[in-house]
A and B are shown apart, each in its own frame.
Chain A
Amino acid sequence: MEKFRTPLSRVRLWGSAKAGSGLFVAQRLTAIALVPISLWFVASVIFFIVKADHAALVAWLQSSWNAEILILLILAMFYHGYLGVHEVVEDYVHHEVVKAITLVSMKFVIIAITVASVLAVLRIALGT
């Protein structure tokens, strides 16, 4: 029976097929990236940051690849968190206006703190 149906009739009434799959893929790609990066960050905190003063932290961020990995962490983790909370809000906030305001505010906030955090790392790494 199924094979006689047109592709359109198979997908009709089963919901949106717009940009959702792109976000689905982005959530998983950031997840894969965050496995090594977040473990690197936890190890850095344990082995270095807990006993570092400000000067030691600055020196650490100015040496080798630390600033670069930290910026990758910010980009991947903040985007991953944004996508996840977006999904939770979509699932549990049912008031359309509240939902819209929450989702738009989240977008502004995540972009603002991402820019501020990357800039903070760059300022330390470049010594300005």
Chain B
Amino acid sequence: MIMTHKRPLSPHLQIYQPQLTSMMSILHRATGVFLSVGILVLAYWLIAAADGTETYQQAQSLLGSWLGLLLLFGWSFSLFYHLCNGIRHLFWDAGLGMDIKTAYATGKVVWVATIILTALAWVLAFSLKGGG
């Protein structure tokens, strides 16, 4: 009685040609998952800061190592991408900008904004740290 008719299934992923819209959708999820790993690091950093000067210095030097900086670069890029594309998603939730032409245009705007914000953040961080 419950399953009297079959629900539609979409074809498998490999059948589609990669497009800007689909790649950006997958990247939204990927950056979200990566940022969730960053949540664990943020929690560790806060707990280290509460523990005292020594533990905090340890956390700071870990984050300041080349691997730490590489990860921080990844998290900053992911945050800006997820934030910009998230705003795009909120407009879609409101029913705005869902036609193909607008979806591509806003997708490109998200990329430009992400690159500018990420570059700006790192240029500012390094120039201010160098000055102080």
On A, residues with C-beta under 8 Å from B are: 13, 28, 31-32, 34-35, 38-39, 42, 45-47, 50-51, 53-55, 57-58, 74, 77-78, 81-82, 84-85, 88, 113, 116-117, 119-121, 123-124
Contacts and interface: CB of A to CB of B under 8 A. Distances in A.
B109 interface: no
Contacts of B93: 28
Interface string B100-132: 000000000000000000000100110011001
Interface residues of B, number: 36
B67 interface: no
11 contacts: A39-B83, A47-B124, A54-B52, A54-B53, A54-B56, A57-B49, A88-B32, A116-B47, A120-B49, A124-B49, A124-B50
Contacts of B86: 31, 35
B70 interface: no
B79 A50 contact: no
Contacts of A51: 128-129, 132
A84 B40 CA distance: 15
Contact of A38 (B40, B53, B83, B124): B83
B39 interface: yes
Nearest to B123: A46
| Interface SS of chain B | helix
Nearest to B51: A120
Nearest to B48: A120
A58 B125 CA distance: 20
Contacts of A58: 49
A55 B129 CA distance: 17
| Most A-side CB within 10 Å, residue of B5, B43, B56, B79 | B43
B46 to A, nearest CB: 4
B20 interface: no
A66 to B, nearest CB: 12
Nearest to A114: B43
